[in-house]
Amino acid sequence: MKINVKNVARLANLPVSIDEEKKFEKQLEETLTYIENLNEVDTTEVKPADNVTGLTNITREDIVEPSLSQEEALRNTKSTHRGFFKVKGILDAK
């Protein structure tokens, strides 16, 4: 099983050095090989389990409650502008 680490790292938005790329390629391929034995299990008649709780359509009352203040919401960011989160531009990003 071949894995293109550079491409996957790009999809995951992870910075990966060239050294890491080689190492991860080997390790991830080992893992993929390991899990291949799942193909031994016949699942032709099986529906996937997407939930173990058996609960469906759980809703709650839509009641306005006190929430974080602007100051609290911004407490853990380093980069603010006039009381807002400051983010990088995305429209001109490559």
Partner 1 sequence: MLNRLSVKQVKNGLKEKRFSSLEVTKACLDAIRKTDEKLHSFVTVSEEEALRDAKNADEKISKGEDAPLQGIPLAIKDNFLTKGIRTTASSKILDEFMPTYDATVVLKLKDAGMVILGKTNMDAWAHGSSTETSDYGATRNPWDISKLPGGSSGGSAAAVAAHQTIAAIGSETAGSIRQPASWCGVVGLKPTYGRVSRYGIVAMGSSLDSAGPITKTVEDSALILSVLAGKDPKDATTSPLKLKLKIESDIKGLRIGVSPQYFINGIDPEVESGVKNAVKTFKELGAEIKELELFDPNYAIDVYTIIQRSEVSSNLARYDGIRFGKDRSYFGEEAKRRIMLGTYALSSGYYDQYYNKAQKVRAIIIEDFRKAFEKVDVIIAPTSPSLPLPVGSTKDSSMFGELADVLVEPSSIAGLSGINIPVGFSSSGLPIGAQIIGPQFQENAILGFAKSFEENTQNAAWRKNEPSFTEVSKGKPNL
> The tokens of 79 are what?
């980069």
* Min CB(81)–partner 1 separation in Å: 12
Instruction: Decide if residue 2 touches partner 1 (CB under 8 A).
Output: no
> The tokens of 53 are what?
């709780």
Phi, psi of 71 (to 5 degrees): -60, -45
Nearest to 12 by CA among 26, 28, 1: 28
Residues that bind partner 1 (CB under 8 A): 3, 5, 8-9, 11-16, 20, 24, 27-28, 30-32, 34-35, 37-41, 43, 46-53, 55, 58, 60-61, 68, 72-73, 75-77, 79, 85, 87
